[in-house]
Amino acid sequence: MKIEKIMHTIDRDPLLLTPGPLTTSLRTKQAMLHDWGSWDAAFNGMTAEVCSQLVAIAHAEDTHVCVPLQGSGTFSVEATLGTLVPPGGKVLVPNNGAYCARILKILSYLGREAVELPFAEDQPADPQVIEAALVADPGITHVAQVHCETGTGILNPLADIARVVAGQGRGLIIDAMSSFAAIDIDARTMPFDALIAASGKCLEGVPGMGFSIIRKSSLKASAGNCHSLAMDLYDQWAYMQKTSQWRFTPPTHVVVALREALAQFHEEGGQAARGGRYAANCAALIDGMRGIGLTPFLLPAVQSNIIVTFHAPAHPEYNFNTFYQGVRDRGFILYPGKLTQVETFRVGCIGALTPMDMRHVVQAVADTLYDMGVLVVA
């Protein structure tokens, strides 16, 4: 394969090939050019509008409410676990990656009992194994499941897991950080107590606000559970119901940017269209990388369209930091690998990107590896 080197003149921000923060549209950026008062009725109306739209994306208008929280997505994961799981609760955590392991670490900090159910990093969580674990331990009250494990890009079978958890009468808490709005999650057919995501992922907003879509009955029953004032989602929800305001200073610019990003989400065609574009991005990326000899870590059957982990080149001249900087100089920011046993790097497919952008990424990777002496051009 002959690769023509291209000299790049970068006159824009580098494109973010990461699972968040990610590249946003100009309209989303421009939405943040104004200031908003945190008690102002217009801003509070925007918060309510955003929350209503988020619940609707999950088809959960009749059963759930959206509770936003300042901070990154991990803030909302910790807040949801701390609010919904009582001090005497026990959480089963199917673990096939770094973000599953993070949930276990959070539960340790919270003093909530956890049961780790390990799976290989290249294998999805098995619903039958989860069901067997629930049958074997009646003390388990909740299952905390990562939908798309972005440490590798693997997609766990959420619908089947939700079915077995509901069948055993336990609560399901979903970390949908990297899947919400790109992969359909329907509360009408996929029962869950809570679904957690954030502004700066597949909704293509900017980072700074997480949110949890929580079953009303579970939230009402959680009063008094939380370990923290700032993280208490029941108190946040109750205060918003009473006043329409956030309890503490809200991320005003983030909320307004998310409102604009949601408008573009619907203009694009909603979840199906957003997920379709990401699928096209992923296909263009994998096809191009295979063309220059780079192979994905995961098998196609379990690969999500969100982020792809690639094996690093097995070449003595390869060094990730040099590789990263060379690709960045050409206008693209990659992600380091999250695996401990295999050297990898990751490329995200989400954000305001198109398949043409992904082909340019491949060219930048090829040019960088050529300059490093790793890729030999015939």
One DSSP character per residue, 47-108 reads HHHHHHHHHHHTT-TTTEEEEEEES-HHHHHHHHHHHHS-TT-EEEEEESSHHHHHHHHHHH
What is the pLDDT at residue 49? 98
Residue 8 lies in a domain: no
> Quick check: 121 and 96 in contact, CB under 8 A?
yes
Instruction: Flag whether 16 is in a domain.
Output: no
Q: Where are the alpha helices (DSSP H) in the chain?
A: 26-30, 41-57, 73-84, 98-110, 127-136, 158-167, 216-220, 233-243, 252-268, 270-291, 320-329, 355-372
Task: Tell whether 164 and 284 lie within a shared domain.
Answer: no
User: SS3 for 356?
Assistant: helix
- Do strands 332-333 and 15-16 pair parallel, antiparallel, or not at all (unpaired)? parallel
Residue 258 near residue 49 (C-beta atoms within 8 A): no
If one counts the domains in the chain, the total is 2
Q: Could you say which of 266, 281, 307 is where a domain stops?
A: 266
- How far separated are the first and last CA of the chain, in Å rounded? 6
pLDDT at residue 19, rounded to an integer: 86
Q: How far apart are CA 196 and CA 215, in angstroms?
A: 12
Looking at the fold, whether 253 and 278 belong to one and the same domain comes out as: no
pLDDT at residue 266, as a whole number? 98
115 lies in the same domain as 132: yes
Q: Do 319 and 170 have their domain in common?
A: no
pLDDT the model gives residue 210: 98
Q: Which residues of the chain have pLDDT under 50?
A: 1-11, 378
Q: Do 244 and 276 sit in the same domain of this protein?
A: no
Supply the CATH number for residue 275's domain. 3.90.1150.10
Distance CA 344, CA 366 (A): 16
- Same domain for 209 and 300, yes or no, is no
What pLDDT, on the 0 to 100 scale, is given for residue 341? Answer: 79
Nearest partner of 250 among 209, 220, 203, judged by Cα: 209
Supply the Cα-derived Rg of the chain in whole angstroms: 21
Q: Looking at 266, 300, 329, which one is the last position of a domain? A: 266
Instruction: For residues 252 and 290, state if they share a domain.
Output: no
Is 243 domain-assigned?
yes
5 is a domain residue = no
Q: What is the pLDDT of residue 340?
A: 67
Segments forming the whole domain that contains residue 166: 32-266
pLDDT at 12: 67
- Burial, 316: exposed, middle or buried (Cβ in 10 Å; 0-12, 13-18, 19+)? exposed
Backbone φ and ψ for 148, nearest 5 degrees, come out as -110, 110
Question: pLDDT of 311-322, one tens digit each?
Answer: 999 999 999 999
pLDDT value at position 376?
65
**Domain-embedded: residue 4:** no
Helix, strand, coil proportions of the chain in percent (round to 5)?
Answer: 40, 15, 40
Residue ending a domain, among 237, 266, 295, is 266
Whether residue 228 is found in the same domain as residue 125: yes
How many CB atoms lie under 10 A from the CB of residue 43? 20
Q: Is residue 257 in some structural domain?
A: yes
Q: What is the pLDDT of residue 20?
A: 84
Q: Are both 202 and 257 inside the same structural domain?
A: yes
Run of H or E including 344 = strand 344-348
User: How many Å apart are CA 130 and CA 164, to the nearest integer?
Assistant: 8
Q: Is position 378 within any domain? A: no
Contact status, residue 203 vs residue 180, Cβ threshold 8 Å = yes
CB 177 within 8 A of CB 158: no
If asked whether residues 176 and 249 sit together in one domain, one would say yes
If asked whether residues 216 and 360 sit together in one domain, one would say no
- Same structural domain, 279 and 350: yes
Look at residue 378 in the predicted model and tell me its pLDDT. 35
The pTM (predicted TM-score) of the whole model is 0.94
CATH code: domain of residue 261: 3.40.640.10
In a domain, 19, yes or no: no
pLDDT of the residue at 377: 61
